[in-house]
Amino acid sequence: MTTIDLVEYGPRLSVRLDDATARALVASRIVEVAPDPRRSGHWSVRAQGKVGVVRLSAPGGASVTLRIAPKVPIARLLFLLGYHLSPKGWRDEEVGLREETELLPAFARLFARQAERALRQGLLQGYHAKEETARFLRGRIREADQIRRQHGRPMPLEIVHDEYGPDIAENRLLLAACERLLRLPDVPRDARPSLLRMRVRLSEIEPSANEPLTWRPTRLNARYHQALYLAELVLRGTSVEHQAGDVTVNGFLFDMSSVFEDFVTTALCRALSDRAGHCVLQASVHLDEARAIRMIPDFVRYADDGTPLAVADAKYKAEKRAGFPDADIYQMLAYCTALGLPEGHLIYAKGNAPHTAHHVRRSGVIIRQHALELDQPPAGLLAEINELASLIASAVPA
C-alpha cells in the first residue's frame, strides 16, 4: 500500500510507482500525474481542485491512498459546504474543528457527534408508504403490480398503505451516511465505536435501494437537522465510489470548484432575496438567434418581468494563460452579449485573481473581477458577499 500526502494545488511530489498503479491514477482524473524525467520509475503527482481521501486499485498494481489537504482550514471548508444546505452552516462547531487537520476524520467525528445527539431521545418516527402483499385490503391496490404479479387472481392483493414508525427518510439518510463512513479508509478509530453503535440503533431501518433520500426540515424533525445536513454532505463526498474500467475508486472527495460555486451562488441569492426580481442558478442562455449555441452561466438575476439584470460566474481558480488565454473573460463577454447586459461579474477565491475591471473595446461592456477571502470567519465572508450583492443590485441594464 502506497500513501501519498498532497496539498490542494500544492507542489508536485515525486513518487515511486509501478506502471499499473500510475495508469490507475491517470485514469481516476483525481490528480495530475506525469512521468518524472529526473528519476527512473518515479512519477510526478500534483493535487488539483479535489480534496479529501481516496483509495485506488487496479489489477496488476498496488493499491494507493491519496490524502489531499485543502488550502483553507477544515472549519472554513465545512462552512462553505454546509451553507447551501442551511444558512446557519456549522459556525457553532468551529471551536470543535479548529485542531482538525484532515478532512475525513473531521467529518467522521463531527457526524458521529451530531448523530448521537440527534438519536439521544430515540429514533424519530413518522408516516411512510409501505408496499406489501396481503390477504386483506389496507390503503389502496397497486394496480400495475396486481396485474403483473398475480396475473388476474383476486388474491392476494398488492397494496400500499401509510404506516407509522421509524422507517422514514430521515433515519434512512443517517443509516446510509453511517454505512458509507464505515467503509472508507482513514476513518479514525475514535469515531468507529460511535458509528457502530449508531448502525445497531438503526438496525430496524430498511437500507435505501440507491433511491434518492429526500427530506424537508420541519419542527418535528428539528433535533435531526444538523445530523441530516452532515449526512447529505457525507453522501455527496462518497459519491466517488465507482469502478472506471479496471480501476476501483473508494473515497471521500470534494471538488473545490463545485463547493465554491455552490456557496457563492447560494449566498448571492440569499443576500438579494429581499429585493425585487429573482435569481436563477445554472440558467439556460443562447448566444445565437437560432438558439443552437447554449450557455449556462452560474448566476443570472432577472426583473419580475423577465428582463436580465445581472450575470455572474464563480471561478475557484483563474483560467491558465496557456493555449486559450483569458477564457473566463471571453465567456463572460458572451454571457453579457446574449443577455444584453452592460457588465458581468467573475468571482474568484482570493489569490487566484485580483480585483479589477476590463472595459471591452467597441462594446461598452465591463467585465468585473472580484476576489473573496475564504480564510476568514463566516461573518466576514458573508459581509463580502453582501457588498458584492449590493454592487450587482445597483447595476442598471443597458
What is the per-residue pLDDT across 193-203, written as a single tens digit (0 to 9) for each? 999 999 999 98
How far apart CA 36 and CA 16 sit, in angstroms, is 9
Helix boundaries (H) for 63-211: 74-83, 94-97, 103-119, 143-150, 169-183, 192-201
Residue predicted with more confidence, 56 or 242: 56
How far apart CA 56 and CA 185 sit, in angstroms, is 11
Q: How confident is the model at residue 382 (pLDDT cuts 50, 70, 90)?
A: very high
> What is residue 71's DSSP assignment?
S
As a whole number, mean pLDDT of residues 103-122 equals 90
- Let me know the angle formed at the C-alpha of 77 by 243 and 33, rounded to the nearest 5 degrees: 40
Question: Other CB atoms closer than 10 Å to residue 126's CB: what's the count?
Answer: 17
* For residue 217, pLDDT beyond 90: no
* Pairing between β-strand 50-57 and β-strand 64-69 as defined by DSSP bridges: antiparallel
* For residue 298, pLDDT beyond 80: yes
Question: Other CB atoms closer than 10 Å to residue 248's CB: what's the count?
Answer: 17
* For residue 231, pLDDT beyond 80: yes
How far is residue 254 from each of residues 8, 53, 98, measured CA to CA in Å? Answer: 11, 9, 20
Looking from the CA of 203 toward its CB, the CA atoms found within 13 Å total: 4
- Let me know the angle formed at the C-alpha of 158 by 156 and 160, rounded to the nearest 5 degrees: 140
Peptide bond connecting 156 to the previous residue in cis, omega within 30 degrees of 0? yes
User: For the chain, what are the domain ranges?
Assistant: 2-70+244-252, 74-124+167-240, 126-165, 272-394
How far apart CA 107 and CA 52 sit, in angstroms, is 10
Domain 272-394 = CATH 1.10.3470: no
* For residue 210, pLDDT beyond 80: no
Residue for grid cell 418516527 = 125
Q: What percent of the chain has pLDDT over 70?
A: 84
Q: What is the pLDDT of residue 198?
A: 94
How far apart CA 175 and CA 201 sit, in angstroms, is 9
The alpha carbon dihedral of 237, 243, 246, 250 has a sign of positive
pLDDT in tens, 343-365: 999 999 987 677 889 999 988 99
Q: Please state, rounded to an integer, the average pLDDT across all residues of the chain.
A: 85
pTM of the model: 0.83
